[in-house]
Amino acid sequence: MSVRILALVGSLRAGSHNRQLAEAAAKHAPEGIEIELYEGLADVPFYNEDIDVEGSVPAAAARLREAAGQADGFLLFSPEYNGTIPAVLKNAIDWLSRPYGAGALSGKPAAVVGTAFGQFGGVWAQDETRKALGIAGGTVLKDAKLSIPGSVTRFAETHPADDAEVVTGLTQVLEQLTASTGTAAA
């Protein structure tokens, strides 16, 4: 039985280094770990309790919740936008936090990694993402971290999947995340 990890990427940009980081995680995931890179965060409307009504939840939000419900854990990839979490990632967390106390994140392990241009690799945004995940009900792995600085120069000619240090860091995070799911990777 494989462990299913849902990857949510906080950048919608086609050439996003965080998207590439997620691709590297999927490519180099240890045996027994299946990573689904979620597509469609751009289609999820901003969270609004008025439209979060049983039987009429917007289709894009329902698809996100369904994918999250099937996951054993979560790996979020956060760039840093003006020193904090990107709106698209926060919006996904908001949708997955509902219904309150029983959302798709509830009780499931989650880790946050990322890369950014700055010298700290987006740690502020990643810390804010961990905070939001915890409040939303996820079990945040505070020690499962990977912040890669200087993304624009570091990944100018090298895909993260071809960077041995990045692959090692991602593998360590995935192993920690998998160990926390309570599901043994086969």
**Domain 3-181, second-level architecture:** 3-Layer(aba) Sandwich (3.40)
pLDDT at 186: 47
Residues 120, 72: Cα–Cα separation, whole Å: 29
d(CA 27, CA 139): 25
Pick from 125, 55, 67, 124: which is nearest to 92 by CA?
A: 67
- Residue in the structure block whose two tokens are 């240090």: 165
Q: Where are the beta strands (DSSP E) in the chain?
A: 3-9, 33-37, 73-77, 109-115, 139-148
Q: Rounded to two decimals, what is the model's pTM?
A: 0.95
pLDDT in tens, 74-104: 999 999 999 999 999 999 999 999 998 899 9
Residue 117 pLDDT > 60, yes or no? yes
High-pLDDT (> 70) share of the chain, %: 98
Residue with tokens 């027994």: 32
Q: Which residue has the tokens 């994140």?
A: 105
Taking the domains of the chain in order of start, what are their residue ranges? Answer: 3-181
